[in-house]
Amino acid sequence: MQILKDRIRKDGKHLGKGVLKVDNFMNHQIDPILMKQIGDEFAKRFKDVNATKILTAETSGIAPALVVAIALELPLVFARKKRPITMGGGEPFRQVAPSPTKGGEVELIVSTEYLGPQDKVLIIDDFLATAKTLQALVQLVKEAGAELVGIGAVIEKSFQGGRDAIGTSGIKIESLAVIESFDGDTIIFEGEKIATT
């Protein structure tokens, strides 16, 4: 998705060790026009998977997942990091994932009221890097007895091996911008050549 790549080049910052800061338009401040385009693109790519629910993780996955849910006219379920007192439905589904930006681990919780065997689930998240969060979301889908029909990531850092780590053969995985590497502050997208001097 060229408009996304252009925005990553303009406003994304490589903080070292493979960490990409996109707070300017996606993870802290949100550009709603770009988000709508992201939602429309994912909706186009996943229109034939017959999803009944969108699933993501709190907090950074909510914006892209919401625009996809709007475009596909589907409910969005997000895995909570803390169980609120309002969460009913008995014991919720739970998985643990490491947090690369906050350090430590986070628990991801989904109420049994909103995810079950009748659902066909499309997972949408902001990043596909090591895929630890996505793996936890996949496990939540399995724990619910639901069917996983696709995974979408706004930005993929392919050099971190997450796509292979997900381990869901036959499931459609789409990323809108794939970063192969960083060369200092330069972001190298899939298929680009690194300029040599």
pLDDT at 105: 87
| Higher pLDDT pick, 90 / 76 | 76
DSSP 8-class letter at 80: B
Span 30-68, pLDDT tens digits? 999 999 999 999 999 999 999 999 999 998 999 999 999
Whole-number average pLDDT of the chain: 92
Q: CATH fold of 2-189, please?
A: Rossmann fold (3.40.50)
Boundaries of every domain in the chain? 2-189
Q: Which residues contact 20 (CB under 8 A, 6 or more apart)?
A: 8, 12, 13, 14, 127, 155, 157, 179, 182, 187
- The rounded percent of the chain whose pLDDT value lies above 70 is 92
In a 13 Å sphere around the CA of 48, the CA atoms on its Cβ side amount to 3
CA distances 44 to 27, 61, 110, 132, Å, are 23, 19, 27, 26
**Is residue 102's pLDDT more than 70?**
no
Q: Which amino acid is at 2?
A: Q
| pLDDT for the residue numbered 97 | 86
Q: In the prediction, which pLDDT does 192 show?
A: 83
Query: Over 70: is that where the pLDDT of 128 sits?
Result: yes
The pLDDT score that the predictor gives to residue 170 is 86
